[in-house]
Structure 1
Amino acid sequence: MRCDFRGPLRSTGLLCTLLAGCASTVQAPYPAIRADSSPAALERGASIFHASCEACHRGGDVETASGAPLHELPSYMGRFHASNLTSHPTAGIGAVSDEELARAIRYAVSRDGRLMVMPSYGMGDKDLAAVLGFMRSKHPLFTPEAKPAPRSEFSFIGGLGFRFITGNEPVQRPPIGIPVPPKGPTLEYGRYMAHDVYDCASCHTPGFSPEKTSDDEVFSGGMAFKDSEGNEVLSSNITFHGTGLAHWTLEDFTRAVRDGIAPDGSAVRMPMPRFRGMDSDEARALYDYLRSMPPRKNAVEGARPRLTATFQRPAWVTTAQGSAPPDAPVSSPAVVATPAKTASSESATASAPASAAASDPGSSPHAAGPAPSDSHPPLPSPAPVDASKLFTQFGCAACHAPGARYHAQMSRAAGRTEEELVQWIRTPARFLPGTPMPTYEELLDVATARALAQWVKSGGPATMASATH
């Protein structure tokens, strides 16, 4: 009997070829860009890093950018883990050159020459040098962590799909010479922020092709992610169509992308980051640029809120967008004012967020000002509220329930004073500039926040049902 092995051999050869193709290296230049450690550059680099990098590279239970599992990506693609960016010489980037880091950021190419599942940023040379300067700084985020991040691995199907879509080629852009447009409330600067710094275009356009941000579906939403509970969430349509941001005011938009609160009072869905460093010029530029784009009809499932011309904003929003009360601090006209005492427990329960609000109330402050001291006046008595219901209603459970990404912070938070927790709940960016936790100062008055803080200190989050992943 004679066996013909040619068929199986051909199949095996084809399989090996495909697998080798998925693992092949690519050619990408090393930008001759060095870290800029000047005070202005460190401030700019910190703003960009907190907005665009920290959410992926700092895990929920650590205080350093030592890497984290990327649960946001579909599981069928494989298992992915963000890199350790601490200054450790072997596990982190301590021994990595500025040029290697610049290549990873500009082309999404790893040190061993492979395309990574991360955005490639077309930011100008000056901004890229500022980000490198911040990464080389003594900021606590980069305190050496000796544990290396696990290697990312494509599944067979994920690897084939990624290679097919990308062509196994990095995005085409010059290694040096990319300018930073003059900062101001202009369409040019708005385009720069949307495409090259905050990378709104990649996340809010469906698909994985490097060329997708230049096609007709740009900003129409629909790219699939996983939220903090492991549920699929599709990015929102951010064109100014009725299925997108039509009827959103500049104040609505600024509060959503900076503070994580949508116009109806709900928490903006994860994994949308919070652009904490956004100033009034950037907010206006980004808003006007998106408004200048062609409206695209795409009613993304689960996206909210879609406003109408007659949408009634909660009372606290109306107050913030109109005339602020006499005791409210003054802010730029393009960025919503912050009325410190306008929210009541009634307005706080007027809307129910459908997604996550991540924070780290158990970690130490990061160069954002000292924590409140015990010398502060005593806080008022808590309002009669159902704290567990409020915890779910404002999206906290999605990130802090047992099994959720940020649950570990709850045990550390219980050791803080009520005064500190109240400040964490209302103004988390004061303690951790890059936190994705929404700012609840406008929704929760001090008394209501204190009731929630007391419930957290009593171990309330541990009694909740586990999140699913």
Structure 2
Amino acid sequence: MRREVRGSVRSTLLLGLLLAGCAGTVKAPYPPIRADTSPAALARGAVIFHASCEACHRSGDAETASGAPLHELPSYMGDFHSSNLTAHPTAGIGAATDEELARVIRYAVSRDGRLMVMPSYGMGDKDLAAVLGFMRSGHPLFTPDATPAPRSDFSFIGGLGFRVITGNEPVQRPVVGIPVPPKGPTLEYGRYMAQDVYDCASCHTPGFSPDKTQGDDVFSGGMSFKDPEGQEVHSSNITFHETGLAHWTRADFMRAVRDGIAPDGSALRSPMPRFRGMDEEEAQALYDYLRSMPPRKNAVDGARPRLTATTPRPEWVAPVSLTEDVREVEAPEEAAPTGEVAHAPAPTSGQSVATPAEATSAPASVATAGATAAPSSSASASAPPKVATPAPRKPRVVPARVDAPKLFTQLGCAGCHAPGARYHDRIARASRRGDAELVRWVRNPEQFQPGTTMPTYAELLDVPTALALVRWVKSGGPATLPPVSH
């Protein structure tokens, strides 16, 4: 009897020590890395932050990276909330040093010394300095917000499991001196992005062990997450096996990871981020690196799409000039052209500004139709007066005849915007915006919010089709759809 009691006491003490260790502080060094605020570093830091950080640290309708509930983690692990990254001195990171923030990013150790559930990033010193520079840049995302982020708490089971799997020790990597490989379509640069910058390996490898990305299951998929509606989803197999990406072309791959559109025309599942800043060279490097990895057979339940050699692709539409077409969308049907050019709506706080190429695609003003230079005195005596010729009228863009409810569902919009979905209220407020602005939002949401997980539909939807969809949305169409089941 005494032996059983002693055994029970030992077991209780062991569990207590394990949980205490999970809640206790850990030792991790402070990388001596300072924020780089040069123009090139700010641009690089913005690309990385929008792709790897913003989705977790910016909630729903928030204009700032003030923290958000982490619904993606399994509920049995506990309740988690990302940190407030605004410049507020107490609720945010305004009072944090660069070294403290570098430790959070490199080792996933909080400022108070606790191991966090967030990924740790092995990005090079130069890229880490660029991310810190962007966070210190005064960008609207970091406008001070005094709302403190709720504390993250493990459940009993979650805390115990986390402590056992991680050993309550941060990942082992150099405190300083990590290089950034030369950018190019090379396997070295592809590995760097997949493992250290975009964290593909962590999300697409099952388990929570810090060392899992070095094992045999790397990139085979199966990591458990929750989608915005609380449904369990598992990351896809992204090795080039028949159960993974075997028949994906580079164009398929780039469209998926950058724009959020799978080869069958459907939207990629949440919480997959969008790597908006990825260019052709980076896409080639990442694609070739994944192809170089050993194919792993793992038919993840619910993952899609699995392509065959003959899988048909949607008929992708050619991009059109938004400046011209949206101007016609806004013009009243009976009105003649006025010579004014409609510009993109001014971005609100937290939105991006049009790129120089976009800004110069539309002239600031248009000369009055038929205006000519005053004739000289000698010419006026012999030549008849010139008659002003009115400018030809452009044809008006007419909304396409589309089955809007069917299209709304096929594009994956219903999962986020149908009744009961996470962002239904947001789309219900769309009637307050103009048609042209909403057409731009549907086709290129990243121009308004670079870190948005909403797919870019510009290749799949031309302007007339997007306009038809927008007008159905503004008429209250989404409210007529079946509620999303939780």
Q: Name the TM tier (shorter chain).
A: 0.7 to 0.9
- For 1:467, the equivalent position in structure 2 comes to 484
Query: Are 1:383 and 1:447, in contact at CA under 8 Å, matched by a contact in 2?
Result: yes
Deviations 1:329-364 (A, max 9, x none): 8xxxxxxxxxx9xxxxxxxxxxxxxxxxxxxxx965
- For 1:357, the equivalent position in structure 2 comes to none
Following superposition, the deviation at residue 305 of structure 1 comes to 1.2
- For 2:24, the equivalent position in structure 1 comes to 24
Q: Does 1:367 align with 2:384?
A: no
TM-score of the superposition, structure 1-length normalised? 0.86
Distance 1:211 1:9 in 2: 33
Q: Does 1:442 align with 2:431?
A: no
Gap change, CA 1:291 and 1:8, over 3 Å in 2: closer
Distance 1:382 1:239 in 2: 41
Query: Are 1:123 and 1:178, in contact at CA under 8 Å, matched by a contact in 2?
Result: yes
Task: Determine helix, strand or coil for the equivalent of 1:414.
Answer: helix
Task: Determine helix, strand or coil for the equivalent of 1:315.
Answer: coil
Kindly provide the amino acid, as one letter, of the partner of residue 253 in structure 1.
Answer: F
Q: Does 1:305 align with 2:290?
A: no
Query: Are 1:364 and 1:431, in contact at CA under 8 Å, matched by a contact in 2?
Result: no
Distance 2:25 2:350 in 1: 41
Following superposition, the deviation at residue 5 of structure 1 comes to 8.0
Following superposition, the deviation at residue 455 of structure 1 comes to 2.1
Task: Determine helix, strand or coil for the equivalent of 1:409.
Answer: helix
Task: Tell which structure's C-alpha radius of gyration is larger.
Answer: 2
Deviations 1:68-102 (A, max 9, x none): 11111111111111111111111111111111100
Following superposition, the deviation at residue 8 of structure 1 comes to 6.8
- For 1:422, the equivalent position in structure 2 comes to 439
Kindly provide the amino acid, as one letter, of the partner of residue 91 in structure 2.
Answer: A
Q: Does 1:284 align with 2:284?
A: yes
Task: Determine helix, strand or coil for the equivalent of 1:253.
Answer: helix
More displaced stretch, 152-161 vs 388-397: 388-397
Kindly provide the amino acid, as one letter, of the partner of residue 440 in structure 1.
Answer: Y
Following superposition, the deviation at residue 403 of structure 1 comes to 3.6
Coordinate RMSD, CA, aligned: 2.6
Query: Are 1:77 and 1:157, in contact at CA under 8 Å, matched by a contact in 2?
Result: yes
Following superposition, the deviation at residue 315 of structure 1 comes to 2.5
- For 1:132, the equivalent position in structure 2 comes to 132
Following superposition, the deviation at residue 380 of structure 1 comes to 1.8
Following superposition, the deviation at residue 22 of structure 1 comes to 2.0
Note the 1:396-411 alignment, pairs <5 A: 396-411=413-428
User: Where does the alignment leave 5 or more consecutive residues of structure 1 unmatched?
Assistant: 320-324, 330-339, 341-361
- For 1:267, the equivalent position in structure 2 comes to 267
1:452 aligns with one of 466, 469, 474: 469
Distance 2:6 2:308 in 1: 65
Query: Are 2:69 and 2:81, in contact at CA under 8 Å, matched by a contact in 1?
Result: yes
Distance 1:13 1:314 in 2: 60
- For 1:122, the equivalent position in structure 2 comes to 122
Following superposition, the deviation at residue 12 of structure 1 comes to 4.8
Task: Determine helix, strand or coil for the equivalent of 1:233.
Answer: strand
- For 1:104, the equivalent position in structure 2 comes to 104
Kindly provide the amino acid, as one letter, of the partner of residue 380 in structure 1.
Answer: V
Gap change, CA 1:7 and 1:121, over 3 Å in 2: closer
Deviations 1:96-152 (A, max 9, x none): 111110000000000111111111000000000000000011111111111111111
Task: Determine helix, strand or coil for the equivalent of 1:399.
Answer: helix
Distance 1:378 1:97 in 2: 58
Note the 1:38-57 alignment, pairs <5 A: 38-57=38-57
Between the aligned residues of both structures, percent identity stands at 76
Following superposition, the deviation at residue 406 of structure 1 comes to 2.6
More displaced stretch, 247-256 vs 41-50: 247-256
Kindly provide the amino acid, as one letter, of the partner of residue 401 in structure 1.
Answer: A
Task: Determine helix, strand or coil for the equivalent of 1:294.
Answer: coil
Following superposition, the deviation at residue 429 of structure 1 comes to 1.1
Query: Are 2:351 and 2:450, in contact at CA under 8 Å, matched by a contact in 1?
Result: yes
Following superposition, the deviation at residue 388 of structure 1 comes to 2.5
